[in-house]
Amino acid sequence: MVARVIVVGSVNVDLVVRAPRLPRPGETVSGGEFARHDGGKGGNQAIAAARLGAWTALIGALGDDDLGADARAALDAEGVITDALATVRDTPTGVALIVVDPAGENLIAVAPGANARLTPTLVAAALERLAVSATDVVLVGHEIPTPTAREALRRARGAGATTILNPAPAAGLDRGVLGLADVLTPNRGELAELAGAETRRTGRRDRGTDAPALMAAALVEPSSEGEGPRAILVSLGASGAILVRPGRPATELAAPSVDAVDATGAGDALNGALAAGLAAGHGLEHAAHRAVLAATRSTLRHGARAGLVTLGELDALVGGATQCGAPTPAAKMENA
């Protein structure tokens, strides 16, 4: 069975300035270097999965401009199926403005453009054409309208597919959407926003990954507002990630120490690798371990896509990490 990943999400063009440091509000920092890259979380995640050997299709929207044509060509060149990538007339392609400091930290502002015109109807029709089924993994981002993300998850869940929701940004998501995800993949900040105000951290803010684990545990448990996701993989940057499932202790997934140069796209590398791993039949814990390694490796090169690994590269990383005592393959998703 061919491993199929269907990504529903955004396509942008990234305009990047590598600056001596990140500016504070109202401040201008000069002396940077400019570069243009193809990006958007949906596009990045689709390429991340495709490089790892998954048959990958992208459902999204581009503007009818030169940026859109270039973005489509870049996806085609990576082997991503773009038949379900709509072109919206009289609308610009999405653009992200990114500032990166020497340590690899970044600030990002996005003008969504055509991404905001991706409707639930367009997504429903695309999923029907692709004949989404129980053997597929559907990865949905949130740089598209919330009703569209909800419809994508609902349709995929109804077809029996494994669903992943990347809640970036987290604003506007509720239990009705989160409960449609088999795996939720926030970073620390997105998790805090989803879990509520700082006061809901139970007074344990000073215990490292313990506070994210507590917040994630609260989200996976059913509440009066509805069901939660079946699992949450929280990315913690250089610290790796934690995997939280109902009724189990949190699993810490350490990241190897590297000299990062650009964290832009690391979350996309993690999501794409997670989807590809699950589609290939890896258990959830092992797929998450592979995803952390892929995300860490991606920070060694500038740009959101330049550091995305191939299957051979990731297998080599996994082999080296396993020799150092990292997790070995876990049970299948249904038992994870």
Residue 123 amino acid letter: V
What DSSP assignment string belongs to 163-197? EEEE-SS-TT--HHHHTT-SEE--BHHHHHHHH-S
Q: How many residues does the chain have?
A: 336
CB environment 238-261: b (16+ within 10 A), e (fewer):
ebbbbbbbeeeebbebbbeeeebb
Rounded to an integer, what distance in angstroms lies between the CA atom of residue 232 and that of residue 8?
19
SS3 260: coil
Angle, helices 311-323/284-298, rounded to nearest 10 degrees? 110
Q: What is the DSSP letter of 13?
A: E
Task: Give the strands of the sheet with 12-18, arranged side by side.
Answer: 33-39, 12-18, 94-100, 106-111
Check if the beta carbon of residue 70 is closer than 8 Å to that of residue 49: no
Q: Is 90 a catalytic residue?
A: no
Q: How far is CA 62 from the centre of its chain?
A: 19
Phi, psi of 94 (to 5 degrees): -60, 145
Q: Which of 83, 259, 268, 315 is catalytic?
A: 268
Buried b (16+ CB within 10 A) or exposed e, 298-329: bbeebbbbebbbeeeebeebbeebeeeebbeb
The residues facing 81 across adjacent strands are 57
Catalytic positions are 268
